[in-house]
Amino acid sequence: MDVDITLRVDGAEHRLTVDTRTTLLDALCERLGNTSPKKGCDHGQCGACTVLLDGERALSCLALAVAHQGAEVVTAAGLADGEELHPLQRAFIEHDAFQCGYCTPGQIVSAVGMLAEADSGWPSAVAEDITAGKVTLDDREIAERMSGNLCRCAAYVNIRPAISEVAR
């Protein structure tokens, strides 16, 4: 069954007709030609398809496009302000935090969402005190909070310092 939906992606509104089984990832990549979110596993295991969905990070391969009618979607391509890169994009370049780059858009978007979560006091699985509210993003916290984003090139040794610098 086909359904008409509207998505706002990286600030631009799009109207499209999708089969109700279409994932948000396929709608973005195949229908709207957005090459930022990547299909790594298509099973919610790698994080390469991460986008911000109404401000929170989400795996677009596990989301049905039809369930997000009217949603505000931000991909890594929409993070820059004109020519001005987002601080995390700059930090990833400065720290050489990638090799092949396939996981990178998902890593960066996920880090944006993660920093906002930490800022709001969301605890993680390694938090000593889940009622503390204030989160100190040390390496352990960053590793845990970014554990949904895998890097097959194992660039973690540079990804973590890049995120840490922006967190500071």
Among 103, 146, 162, 166, binds ligand FES (CB under 6 A): 103
Among 3, 100, 130, 157, binds ligand FES (CB under 6 A): 100
Among 65, 89, 98, 167, binds ligand FES (CB under 6 A): 98
Burial 81-100 (b: 16+ CB within 10 A, else e): eeeeebebbebbeebebbee
CA dihedral angle for residue 91, residue 96, residue 98, residue 99, rounded to 10 degrees: 160
Query: Please, are residues 49 and 61 in contact by the beta-carbon 8 Å criterion?
Result: yes
Nearer to ligand FES, 155 or 167 (CB): 155
Binding to ligand FES (CB under 6 A) within 61-90 occurs at: 61
Span from 9-17, 82-90, 117-125, 146-154 in contact with ligand FES (CB under 6 A):
146-154
Q: Strand ranges (DSSP E) for the chain?
A: 2-9, 12-19, 50-53, 56-59, 72-74
- Catalog residues that contact ligand FES under the rule CB under 6 A: 39-42, 44-49, 59, 61, 98-104, 151-153, 155
